[in-house]
C-alpha cells in the first residue's frame, strides 16, 4: 500500500487521540454526566475510526466503530454509564493501543485478538436496545455487522446496480449525514469517448462536486484519477451541504468533454451491510478522504483538545543544531567587533539586526529541546486508576505542574522510575479502605504527583497520605539483610534510615505482591535517576504518608533569570529566588557582629559581600548601591550588584564534571553573545 507517507502521521495522531480517550474516559468515570467528555470521547473514537479506515487497518475500525455505537447511546441518553461501560471502554482503548503498537512495528493486526473487547462492546450496545426497541439504533447496529463478522470478508453482493460498495467507515459517514438531515446523492459521470485530458476532466469533476459538499467516495479513487487510470465512468457519492442535485448536474455538464451526468438520491442497500474485504481496499487513500473531521459537526470543541500539529525530530539533530548555532553566535560576535572597527554604518545596522535575530533564534532552538513533563505524566491517571481497581483501593489521584519543562533526554528517563514510585504509593503506601476507615481517615486515599522548578532544579514529588514508612521495620530489615549494624542504626537520622530503602535487594513488604514489593524497585529507581544526574529522597511520617522527592539536574533546563553585572562580570540569578531589586544608601548598611546587614520590610537581613566572596575588585565606593534581595522560605538576604541587565530565559548548563560543587554556583549559561555567565545559587547564602 502506498500510504507510508501517511503512516507516521497516522501513528502520531492516533496516539494523541488515544491519549485524549484515556483522559476523557477518566473524566467521564468521575462524572458520568459530563457531556463535554462524552462528546470528546466520541470524537476521538470517530477520528481514529476514520483514519484507520483510510489506512486500511480494518480491525481498528471495527473496535472504534462499536465504541462509537456504545458512546452514541450514552450521548443520546439511551444508555447510562455503568462501571461495566467504563471497564469495557478502557479495555477497548488498551486494545487500540496494542493495535497501534502492532501497526508501528509493522506486525500483523490480525494477530491481535479483538473478540473479547468487541463482544463486550456488543453486549453494551444490545443492553439498552432490548428495553426500548431498536429503531433509533438501527443504523448503528447495521453498520456494526462487519465487526461481528470478525474477518470482515463478507463478499460484496450488492455491488450490482447503481448502489455503491462502501466500507464500514464510509457507510457510517453517509448514514450520519442523512441522520443529520443532509442529502446524499450518487453521481455518475461519463466522459466523451474522444476525451484527451481524462485526468484533468476527472479532477474538474471532483472539484465541482466539492463545491456542493463532502465527497464520501470516488470511484476510481482520486489518486488513480489523477494518474488518468480510468475508462470513461466516474462515480461519486456526495453529501450535499449546499445547492440542489440539479445544480450539481448543471455544474458538471458545464465541464467540457462530459457526455452524460446523472444525479440521484442515494439509498443505503437494504441487505446487511457488506464491507469491502480487506484485500479490496478502495485504492490508495485520497487525501480528501483522510480527514473525516468535517463530517463530524464541530460543535463544542473540547477545551482540552490539543493541536495535532507536530513534527518528530531526532534529539541528536537538535544537539547538532544547537551546537552549530552556538558557533554561529561566536562568529557573529566577531563580525560585530569587526563592524565596529570599520565604522561602516550600514554594516553596523545589519550586524545589529543579525544580532537580534540570532538571539531570538537561540532562544527558539533551546526551547525546542524542552518538553513538558505532561508527556510522561499523562499516562499515569489511567495507570493509577487500573491499579486502584486491581488492589481494591480508593484513590484520588492529582497531577500538578504538568507544564513544567524538562529537557527531552531527561524526560525519556524518568518514566520508569515514576511508574515504580506511583505503584509503590498505591500498593504499599495507601491502606485499604477498611483499614483507613478504622484509622479515622477518609476511605479514599490521596496520591499526588507534582512537578516544579525550584532552587536550580526540577523537582518531581510523588506523595500519598497512607501509612508512611515504619522506621523500625526498615531498621529491622536492614539489620537482617546485613546492611547496617543495629547499634549504628539506632543513631541514624530518619533520612539515613529511609535511604536504606534504596539499597539493592531491600523490600519492606513481607508478602510479595504482583504489583511491587519484589525488592527490585527502589534501587533501580535510584540508579536510573542517578544516570541522568538526579537524586531521590524520602520524607515520611508514620500514619500520615510518604513523599518521594526526585531532584533532576538543571542541565539544559530553561529558567527565567535576572542578569546582573558585578565588577565587569555578568551573572545570572534565578528569578524564583529574587524578591525584589532595590537601591540602598551606604549609611543604611550596618554592622552586626561582623556581618553587614540592611533593613528590609521591617526586618534586618544580611548583606552578602559578593565582592569579597568572589574575589572581585570594584572601582570605588558608591553612595547608592543596587541590591538584589533574594529569599528561600522565610530567609532573606541581599547582595550588591553594579547593574541590572534585565530579565531573560536562560538555559542552565552544568560546569562540566570537572567542576562539581562549586560554592554558590549552580551552573552556567551561554549568553546571546556567546559568553558564559555563571548562575548564582542563592540558596548557598541562605542555608541554615
Partner 1 sequence: MEEEVRELDREVKVIVFQLGSEEYGVEVYQVLSIERMQKITRVPRTPAFVKGVINLRGVVTPVIDLRARFGLPEAEYTDDTRIVVVGVNDMEVGLIVDAANDVIDVPLSRIDPPPAVVGGVKADYLRGVAKLEDRLLVLLNLDRVLNAQEVAQLSAMSW
> Closer CB to partner 1, residue 127 or residue 616?
616
Neighbour-count burial for 517-545, b at 16+ CB within 10 Å, e otherwise: bebebbbebbebbeebbbebebbbeeeeb
> Closer CB to partner 1, residue 1 or residue 662?
662
Q: Which letter does DSSP use for residue 425 in this model?
A: I
29's grid cell: 468515570
* Pairing between β-strand 183-191 and β-strand 258-265 as defined by DSSP bridges: antiparallel
Smallest gap, in angstroms, from Cβ of residue 362 to partner 1? 10
Neighbour-count burial for 395-424, b at 16+ CB within 10 Å, e otherwise: bebebebeebbbbbbbbebbeebbbbbbbb
Cβ neighbourhood burial of 605 (10 Å; 0-12, 13-18, 19+):
buried
Told to judge if 68 belongs to the known catalytic residues of this protein, a careful annotator would answer yes
> Closer CB to partner 1, residue 470 or residue 569?
569
How many of the other CB atoms lie within 10 Å of CB of 162? 11
For residue 346, give every residue at least 6 positions away whose Cβ sits within 8 Å of its Cβ, in sequence order, or none.
none
Angle between helix axes 408-424 and 380-391 (nearest 10 degrees) is 20
> Closer CB to partner 1, residue 484 or residue 678?
678
Cα separation of 22 and 246, whole Å? Answer: 46
Asked if 170 and 237 touch (Cβ cutoff 8 Å), the reply is: yes
> Closer CB to partner 1, residue 180 or residue 530?
530
In this structure, is the dihedral angle defined by the CA atoms of residues 619, 621, 622 and 624, taken in order, positive or negative? positive
The single residue listed with the C-alpha cell 500520615 is 544
Smallest gap, in angstroms, from Cβ of residue 665 to partner 1? 6
Smallest gap, in angstroms, from Cβ of residue 523 to partner 1? 23
Given phi > 0 = left and psi -120 to 50 = alpha, else beta, which region is 456? left
Cβ neighbourhood burial of 348 (10 Å; 0-12, 13-18, 19+):
middle
Q: Which letter does DSSP use for residue 254 in this model?
A: T
Cα separation of 26 and 69, whole Å? Answer: 19
> Closer CB to partner 1, residue 503 or residue 654?
654
| SS3 per residue for 585-646 | EHHHCEEECCEEEEEECCEEEEEECHHHHCCCCCCCCCCEEEEEEEEECCEEEEEEECEEEE
Told to judge if 46 belongs to the known catalytic residues of this protein, a careful annotator would answer yes
Asked if 458 and 408 touch (Cβ cutoff 8 Å), the reply is: no
> Closer CB to partner 1, residue 10 or residue 571?
571
Continuous segment of H or E residues that includes residue 79: none
> Closer CB to partner 1, residue 478 or residue 566?
566
How many of the other CB atoms lie within 10 Å of CB of 19? 19
Smallest gap, in angstroms, from Cβ of residue 664 to partner 1? 7
Q: Catalytic one among 13, 16, 29, 46?
A: 46
Smallest gap, in angstroms, from Cβ of residue 329 to partner 1? 8
> Closer CB to partner 1, residue 98 or residue 684?
684
> Closer CB to partner 1, residue 316 or residue 658?
658
Cα separation of 307 and 301, whole Å? Answer: 12
Q: Could you give the C-alpha distances from 400 to 29, 52, 376, 396, in angstroms and in order?
A: 20, 34, 13, 13
Residue ranges binding partner 1 (CB under 8 A): 322-327, 330, 569, 613-616, 653-665, 667-668, 670, 674-678
Cα separation of 552 and 175, whole Å? Answer: 53
Peptide bond before residue 565 is cis, with ω within 30 degrees of 0: no
Strand order across the 635-641 sheet = 578-585, 624-632, 635-641, 603-608, 595-600, 590-592
Smallest gap, in angstroms, from Cβ of residue 237 to partner 1? 56
Angle between helix axes 83-105 and 4-30 (nearest 10 degrees) is 160
> Closer CB to partner 1, residue 194 or residue 656?
656
412's grid cell: 525519556
Q: Catalytic one among 424, 456, 626, 683?
A: 424
Smallest gap, in angstroms, from Cβ of residue 656 to partner 1? 5
For residue 425, give every residue at least 6 positions away whose Cβ sits within 8 Å of its Cβ, in sequence order, or none.
447, 462, 463, 464, 466, 546, 548
Cα separation of 174 and 331, whole Å? Answer: 61
Smallest gap, in angstroms, from Cβ of residue 152 to partner 1? 54
Smallest gap, in angstroms, from Cβ of residue 646 to partner 1? 19
Smallest gap, in angstroms, from Cβ of residue 472 to partner 1? 36
Q: Catalytic one among 13, 23, 68, 214?
A: 68
> Closer CB to partner 1, residue 592 or residue 659?
659
Smallest gap, in angstroms, from Cβ of residue 347 to partner 1? 23
Catalytic positions: 46, 68, 424
Amino acid at each position: 500500500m502506498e500510504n507510508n507517507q501517511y503512516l507516521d502521521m497516522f501513528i502520531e495522531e492516533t496516539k494523541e487521540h488515544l491519549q485524549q480517550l484515556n483522559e476523557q474516559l477518566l473524566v467521564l468515570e468521575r462524572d458520568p454526566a459530563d457531556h463535554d467528555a462524552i462528546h470528546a470521547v466520541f470524537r476521538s473514537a470517530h477520528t481514529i475510526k476514520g483514519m484507520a479506515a483510510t489506512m486500511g487497518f480494518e480491525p481498528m475500525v471495527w473496535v472504534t466503530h462499536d465504541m462509537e455505537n456504545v458512546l452514541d447511546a450514552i450521548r443520546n441518553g439511551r444508555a447510562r454509564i455503568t462501571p461495566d461501560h467504563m471497564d469495557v471502554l478502557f479495555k477497548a482503548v488498551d486494545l487500540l493501543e496494542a493495535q497501534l503498537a502492532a501497526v508501528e512495528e509493522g506486525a500483523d493486526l490480525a494477530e491481535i485478538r479483538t473478540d473479547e473487547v468487541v463482544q463486550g462492546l456488543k453486549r453494551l450496545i444490545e443492553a439498552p436496545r432490548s428495553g426500548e426497541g431498536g429503531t433509533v439504533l438501527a443504523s448503528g447496529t447495521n453498520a456494526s455487522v462487519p465487526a461481528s463478522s470478525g474477518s470482515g470478508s463478507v463478499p460484496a453482493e450488492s455491488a450490482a446496480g447503481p448502489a455503491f460498495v462502501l466500507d464500514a467507515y464510509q457507510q457510517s459517514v453517509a448514514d450520519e449525514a442523512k441522520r443529520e438531515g443532509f442529502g446524499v446523492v450518487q453521481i455518475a459521470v461519463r466522459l466523451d469517448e474522444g476525451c484527451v485530458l481524462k485526468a484533468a476532466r476527472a479532477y474538474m469533476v471532483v472539484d465541482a462536486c466539492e463545491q456542493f459538499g463532502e465527497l464520501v467516495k470516488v470511484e476510481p479513487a482520486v489518486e488513480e484519477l489523477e494518474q488518468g487510470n480510468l475508462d470513461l465512468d466516474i462515480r461519486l457519492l456526495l453529501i450535499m451541504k449546499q445547492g440542489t442535485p440539479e445544480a450539481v448536474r448543471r455544474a458538471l455538464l458545464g465541464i467540457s468533454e462530459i457526455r452524460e451526468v446523472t444525479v440521484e438520491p442515494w439509498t443505503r442497500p437494504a441487505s446487511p451491510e457488506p464491507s469491502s474485504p480487506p484485500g479490496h481496499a478502495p485504492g490508495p487513500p485520497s487525501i480528501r478522504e483522510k480527514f473525516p473531521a468535517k463530517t463530524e459537526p464541530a460543535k463544542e470543541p473540547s477545551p482540552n483538545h490539543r493541536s495535532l500539529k507536530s513534527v518528530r525530530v531526532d534529539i541528536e539533530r537538535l544537539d547538532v543544531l544547537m551546537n552549530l548555532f552556538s558557533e554561529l553566535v561566536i562568529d557573529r560576535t566577531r563580525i560585530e567587533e569587526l563592524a565596529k572597527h570599520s565604522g561602516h554604518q550600514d554594516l553596523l545596522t545589519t550586524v545589529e539586526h543579525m544580532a537580534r535575530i540570532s538571539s531570538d533564534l537561540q532562544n527558539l532552538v533551546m526551547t525546542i529541546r524542552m518538553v513538558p513533563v505532561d508527556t510522561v505524566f499523562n499516562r499515569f491517571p489511567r495507570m493509577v486508576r487500573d491499579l486502584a481497581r486491581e488492589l481494591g483501593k480508593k484513590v484520588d489521584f492529582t497531577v500538578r505542574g504538568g507544564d513544567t519543562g524538562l529537557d527531552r533526554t531527561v524526560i525519556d528517563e524518568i518514566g520508569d522510575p515514576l511508574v515504580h514510585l506511583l505503584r509503590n504509593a498505591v500498593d504499599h503506601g495507601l491502606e485499604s479502605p477498611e483499614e483507613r476507615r478504622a484509622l479515622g481517615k477518609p476511605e479514599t486515599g490521596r496520591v499526588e504527583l507534582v512537578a516544579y522548578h525550584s532552587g536550580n532544579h526540577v523537582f518531581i514529588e510523588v506523595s500519598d497520605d497512607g501509612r508512611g514508612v515504619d522506621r523500625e521495620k526498615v531498621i529491622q530489615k536492614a539489620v537482617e539483610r546485613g546492611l547496617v549494624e543495629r547499634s549504628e542504626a539506632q543513631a541514624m537520622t530518619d533520612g539515613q534510615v529511609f535511604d536504606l530503602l534504596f539499597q539493592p535487594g531491600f523490600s519492606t513488604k513481607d508478602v510479595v505482591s504482583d504489583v511491587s514489593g519484589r525488592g527490585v524497585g527502589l534501587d533501580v529507581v535510584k540508579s536510573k535517576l542517578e544516570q541522568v544526574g538526579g537524586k531521590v529522597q524520602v520524607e515520611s511520617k508514620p500514619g500520615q504518608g510518604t513523599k518521594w522527592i526526585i531532584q533532576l539536574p538543571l542541565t539544559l533546563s530553561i529558567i527565567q533569570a535576572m542578569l546582573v553585572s558585578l565588577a565587569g562580570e555578568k551573572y545570572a540569578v534565578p528569578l524564583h529566588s529574587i524578591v525584589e531589586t532595590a537601591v540602598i544608601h551606604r549609611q543604611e548598611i550596618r554592622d552586626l557582629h561582623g556581618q553587614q546587614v540592611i533593613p528590609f520590610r521591617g526586618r534586618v537581613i544580611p548583606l552578602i559581600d559578593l565582592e569579597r566572596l568572589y574575589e572581585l575588585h570594584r572601582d570605588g565606593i558608591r553612595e547608592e548601591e543596587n541590591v538584589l534581595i533574594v529569599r528561600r522560605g522565610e530567609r532573606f538576604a541581599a547582595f550588591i550588584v553594579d547593574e541590572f541587565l534585565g530579565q531573560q530565559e536562560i538555559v542552565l548548563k552544568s560546569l562540566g564534571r570537572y567542576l562539581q560543587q562549586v560554592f554558590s554556583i549552580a551552573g552556567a549559561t551561554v549568553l546571546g553573545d556567546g559568553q558564559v555567565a555563571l548562575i548564582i545559587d542563592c540558596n548557598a547564602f541562605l542555608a541554615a
